[in-house]
Structure 1
Amino acid sequence: MKKRITQGIQSRPLKHIAAVALLAASAAFTASGAQAWTLKEAAQPYSGTTIKAIFLDRPGYKAAQTLIPQFEKETGIKVRWEVIPYENTREKEVLNFVGGGDQDIVLVDVVWIGEFASNKWLVPIKKFTDDPKLADPSLNLQGFFPILLDSFGTWDKVTYGLPFDNYSGLMFYNKCMLKDAGFDAPPKTWDELLNTYAPKLTKGDKFAFALQSRRGETQSADSFMRVLWPNGGSLLDAKFKSNLMSPQSQAGLEYRQKLMKYMPPGIVDFDHAEAVNALAQGQVAMITEWSAFYPTLTDPSKSKIGNCLAITTEPRGAAGLKPALGGFSLAVNAKSNAKKQAASWLFIQWITSEAMAKPYLEAGGVPARTAVYKDAAVQDKYPFVKPMVESWQGGVPDYRPRFPEWPAVSEVIGEWGSKMMLGQVTVKEGAQTIGQKTEDILKKAGYYDGKKPLLK
């Protein structure tokens, strides 16, 4: 038998044998190269470098803070961060870019990436992934949920950042309050919530629902846009003209007005913290909030809801399941020096890696990696996982427009959306004003004369 095998090999053309040997050597070299790459060795040239970031006062960032000492010990790179309110983040980062500040890691909201990328404030990740000294062979960009990598990290087909602290809108509810009102399950539709559940759950100082609606990005994204999509509406149509006067958009905005009588007084000044706290303290029975707030609602020092907490997808509307999509990516500041850029990339690559996904989740963060959520133990331990994954698979990529002009449009919606809720203008008057002002902004930017493409 051994003789036959030997004869078979000898009978093959020498050229073929050489090709096989070369292929084997190449595979061995690739394997050894992949094994040789380590974070510690990659970081050696940058040991002692300090990089700076902006963080928010949210669970995902606190989770990162608990893990950073591990990165610092491994690399010798120091990570420093400043915690500021979300509403101030974009302005602070823009001032940093324009004024030549010292921020190295850029926090990029889904609606900021167009502005940041168009102004060349971010470094395309290709600069780092093409560098074998900096690129972790196990990076696996395909391991991110596509909707997250595309929406939060990519602009005009160029990837600038890796998804970090990403959320889907979910319904968190107090199953004990629902049971006491005669319900053994949450509402499946927005119509059920308003017409069947809300009247029975609103009594005295207890309310059915809280929709975070504070003027600013919370009003524009978390309140105003949230009621458009489930009803089949949208801010703009395919030609970037206002779609707010469509029957579907009007239905969504009218729905929000009807729901207000089942929400706490002062709801127009509720930010995320107030909405989450209202559920946590038993003031309201239901909220639609970001999946990232699960750790807050399960923290006994902050929440009284205890075992009464339950989670499901956002309700369905006439257009089906169209949940809110939110979150960020981490990117490298193009204005930082080369050493800080490399150190920043190593941190971003590490904190968003598949290897760190479970530690980040266990520390209170929400990773964007698909693999970690396939773990049955993870699904059992974290009840928000299944509805969140379902929502990410069927979410709205352009839940908020990602063009660079969104911040200006958001200010308009923040002002007039609040007036609408307060009854200072009618829904039609508010929608007409927002639509006109939005079109003025887009006209000035060049979308209607061919200077800018309509879709990204």
Structure 2
Amino acid sequence: MKKRYTQVTAFAVLSVTASLLAVSNASAWTLKEAAEPYSGTTIKAVFLDRPGYKAASALIPQFEKETGIKVRTEVVPYENTREKEVLNFVGGGDQDVVLVDVVWMGEFASNKWLVPIKTFTDNPKLADPKLDLPDFFPILLDSFGTWDKTTYGLPFDNYSGLMFYNKCMLKDAGFNGPPKTWDELLNVYAPKLTKPDKNQFAYALQSRRGETQSADSFMRMLWPNGGSLLDAKFKSNLMSPQSQAGLEYRQKLMKYMPPGIVDYDHAEAVNALAQGQVAMITEWSAFYPTLTDPSKSKIGNCLAITTEPTGPAGLKPALGGFSLAVNAKSNAKKQAASWLFIQWITSKEMAKPYLDAGGVSGRMSVYKDPAVQAKFPFVNPMVQSWQGGVPDFRPRFPEWPAVSEVIGEWGSKIMLGQVSVKDGAKTIGDKTEEILNKAGYYDGKKPLLK
């Protein structure tokens, strides 16, 4: 018994010692020391002209001072970003930090253009012990950073579709709050809020041909009605009653939108609310800084925010945003420096500074602070929207860019009345199936990944 006690005691001592060493090693890790081998390295990244990127740019000097690593960013229009990055991968360009939209992840990862984060998290010299991956909202880490059960990027500039509205305009029309359902918006609110002779309209839906039409307009109206682009076998679901109802709804709502709405991108929709032309928009939470900037917005204290309305299928808001990943074609030194930057800008430590600077963090912990909730009224509806999960069969597969072009063309034609909802939807479905069939989705050559 005494011998056993001694063995157990010895084991306990060793365990405690190991734990203390682990804690000691963890506490010993610093960004400055981790970055020493890469001091003087310059890494390049593509940024967008949006608040979250301006926020990150404002914080970058702090990273550069701490690490000696230089971060050079190029601001590119969203519509050109994917093409620029793909050309970079194929042509051997010098981009090191990759910006990955939720709908590009399948393409980028399946082509092996991104480095799995495990390469860095398994390296104690590069992995911050406080990284805490479980602190990211699961829906964000899964949708924006992960493909085929492998994580490639960390969530950055993430947002949910929210309803921004002018509570003063609604009050003048006799409403004490926003519509709770899409049906209520169309049949109760829209008629009273639309005054074409005064250039005033109830609602604006960003619908410009391209990714805005496909992801922000077309798909946005399918999900709340229980529709979807594809069914469980990756065949078109656009002729289903639910999908048809969503697209017909969009056509009905157009009479309460500004003329030329089919050419509205995000900037035009946000500006329409900011200048008092429309009473409501469903837009990304990331545009909150724009709407609260007195130099860009007249809405002032009339601005209010809530979740998107619910439909027959419940609350199914749009989910948008990006992850930051490391370019697999960069050299090892630049890869390590890029990881240190990505790990830092998306860290728990930087979540509050990033939020204060105008960004939207993907970290759960920062939004639990009552002061943060009080300061940023978009937080509670955004967090609520991130609880429900991604709508079924979200288009994250590698063939999405080709499908998006089809939806961009024919979705715009539907809105303009150049083709009926039924005929336009059938054309989109047929062309989508042609693309997926050619890619091998129906002969067993490709798994039906979502």
Shorter-chain TM-score tier: over 0.9
CA–CA distance in 2 between the matches of 1:122 and 1:132? 20
Unmatched tracts of structure 2, length 5 or more = none
Aligned: 1:268 with 2:268: no
What residue is the counterpart of 1:409 in the other structure?
403
CA–CA distance in 1 between the matches of 2:57 and 2:315? 34
AA matched with 1:49: T
1:115 pairs with one of 85, 88, 107: 107
What residue is the counterpart of 1:423 in the other structure?
417
Report the Cα offset of residue 14 of structure 1: 2.0
What residue is the counterpart of 2:440 in the other structure?
446
What residue is the counterpart of 1:392 in the other structure?
386
Q: Is the 8 A contact 2:231 2:393 kept in 1?
A: no
CA–CA distance in 2 between the matches of 1:120 and 1:397? 26
What residue is the counterpart of 2:164 in the other structure?
172
CA–CA distance in 2 between the matches of 1:264 and 1:246? 29
Q: Is the 8 A contact 1:44 1:75 kept in 2?
A: yes
Report the Cα offset of residue 397 of structure 1: 4.9
Q: How many residues align?
A: 448
Q: Is the 8 A contact 1:373 1:379 kept in 2?
A: yes
1:78 pairs with one of 56, 70, 80: 70
What residue is the counterpart of 1:20 in the other structure?
12
Cα-to-partner distance string for 1:405-431 (whole Å, 9 max, x where unaligned): 000000000000000000000001100
1:152 pairs with one of 137, 144, 149: 144
> Which of structure 1's runs of 4+ aligned residues deviate more than 4 A?
none
Q: Aligned to 2:305, what secondary structure does the other structure show? A: strand
Unmatched tracts of structure 1, length 5 or more = 1-7
Report the Cα offset of residue 197 of structure 1: 0.3
Cα-to-partner distance string for 1:351-386 (whole Å, 9 max, x where unaligned): 000110011000000000000001111111110000
- After TM superposition, the structure 1 stretch with the greater mean CA deviation from structure 2, 395-404 or 103-112, is 395-404
CA–CA distance in 1 between the matches of 2:411 and 2:15? 63
AA matched with 2:341: F
Aligned: 1:281 with 2:265: no
What residue is the counterpart of 1:130 in the other structure?
122
Report the Cα offset of residue 400 of structure 1: 3.5
CA–CA distance in 2 between the matches of 1:266 and 1:77? 46
Provide TM-score, normalisation by structure 2. Answer: 0.98
AA matched with 1:122: L
Q: Is the 8 A contact 1:225 1:399 kept in 2?
A: no
What residue is the counterpart of 1:335 in the other structure?
329
What residue is the counterpart of 2:84 in the other structure?
92
Identity within the alignment, %: 85
Report the Cα offset of residue 11 of structure 1: 9.1
Larger Rg: 1
What residue is the counterpart of 2:201 in the other structure?
207
Q: Is the 8 A contact 1:221 1:400 kept in 2?
A: no
CA–CA distance in 1 between the matches of 2:11 and 2:419? 77
What residue is the counterpart of 2:50 in the other structure?
58
Report the Cα offset of residue 12 of structure 1: 7.2
CA–CA distance in 1 between the matches of 2:37 and 2:233? 50
CA–CA distance in 1 between the matches of 2:223 and 2:406? 19
Cα-to-partner distance string for 1:84-120 (whole Å, 9 max, x where unaligned): 1101000000000000000000000011010000000
CA–CA distance in 2 between the matches of 1:164 and 1:392? 15
Q: Is the 8 A contact 2:232 2:393 kept in 1?
A: no
Aligned: 1:294 with 2:288: yes
Report the Cα offset of residue 454 of structure 1: 1.5
User: Superposition RMSD on alpha carbons, in Å?
Assistant: 1.2
What residue is the counterpart of 2:362 in the other structure?
368
Report the Cα offset of residue 399 of structure 1: 6.9
